[in-house]
Amino acid sequence: MMYILAPSLLAADFTILGEQIREIQKAGVNYLHIDVMDGMFVPSISFGMPLIASIRSATTQFFDVHLMITDPIRYIKDFAECGADGITFHLEAADHVDEVIDRIHSLGLKAGLSIKPSTPLEEVYPYLPKLDTVLIMSVEPGFGGQAFMDEAYGRIAELRKYINSHCLPVKIEVDGGIGKKNVREVLRAGADICVAGSAVFKKRSISENIAHFMEAFHECEEEAGKPVTE
Ligand SMILES: O=C(CO)[C@@H](O)[C@H](O)COP(=O)(O)O
Ligand SMILES: [Fe+2]
C-alpha cells in the first residue's frame, strides 16, 4: 500500500506559486489538488482554466482537479485541455453522473466522484465499478482551513469495507481538515489519498510539513503490511 499526499493549491501563496510547486515536487510529492469553485455549487469562487494551463508548463505532477461546480459536464473538456490528469466532480452537482464519468474517461483522464458530508454513502455505490477514485469530503466543500468532521472516519471505514468486499480497484481520497494530528487516523480508517491545504502551506516550511506527512505514511504503510496476529 502506497499512500498519496495531494497538496491543495487553495492554501498556497499565489505571489510565489511557481516556487511553492517546485518545493512540493522537490519533497517527492507528485500530486497537486486543484480546487475549482463556481460561487453556485459552493459559496466561494476560486480559480479556473487559465491558472491551471499556466502552471501546467511548470510541472509534471498529477493534476487532481476537484470541481465544486454546478452541472460539471459543461466544462470537462476545458479542464482536460488545460492540463487536468484526473477530474473529480460532485454527485450532488450532476444530473447524469454516468455521463460525466464517461466524458472524463473518453478524454483519457482518471474519474473521481465526490460527496458532501451529508450525502448518504450508498449513493456512490452504483458508480464504483466505473470510478478511479471516490472523494469523501471531511468538511463542507467551499473553503480551506476548516476543522475535520469526525463523522468522516466511519464513512471512510464503511466505504473501505464495501470496496474490499467487492474487490474493486477504486481509491479513497479524503479532503478537508487533514493535518499531522489526524492523518494516521484517516489512513487507518481506509484512505489512500489525503488532501491537505493548510497543513502543507501554512505555519512551517512546505518541506517540513510534507516530511511530517511522509513519516505518518511510512508508519501506517508498515502497520498495514504487518501480518495480523491475535
Ligand atoms: O475542497 C476543499 C475545500 O472545499 C479542500 O481541498 C480544501 O482546500 C482543503 O484545505 P484544508 O482543509 O486542508 O486547509
Ligand atoms: Fe478539494
Q: What is the pLDDT of residues 127-137, one digit of tens each?
A: 999 999 999 99
**Tens digit of pLDDT for each residue in 147-203?**
999 999 999 999 999 999 999 999 999 999 999 999 999 999 999 999 999 999 998
Contacts of 57 (CB under 8 A, 6+ apart): none
pLDDT value at residue 226: 64
For 40, which DSSP code?
A: S
Domains of the chain, CATH where assigned: 4-225 (3.20.20.70)
Residue 195, C-alpha cell as written in the block: 488532501
Catalytic residue set? 35, 175
86 is an annotated ligand-binding site residue: no
Q: Please choose from 32, 35, 41, 88 the residue to mutate so as to test ligand 1's pocket, defined by most ligand atoms within 8 A of CB.
A: 35
**Tens digit of pLDDT for each residue in 14-63?**
999 999 999 999 999 999 999 999 999 999 999 999 999 999 998 999 99
In the chain, the largest separation of any two C-alpha atoms, in whole Å, equals: 55
Categorize the per-residue pLDDT at 230 as very low, low, confident or very high, splitting at 50, 70 and 90. Answer: very low
CA 183 to ligand 1 centroid distance, Å: 14
Question: Which ipTM value was assigned to this complex?
Answer: 0.98
35 is an annotated ligand-binding site residue: yes
Strand partners, 161: none
CB under 8 A, 24+ apart: contacts of 22-25:
22/58, 22/59, 23/205, 23/206, 23/207, 24/61, 24/200, 24/206, 24/210, 25/59, 25/60, 25/61
Task: Report how far residue 133's alpha carbon sits from residue 193's, in angstroms, rounded to the nearest whole number.
Answer: 9
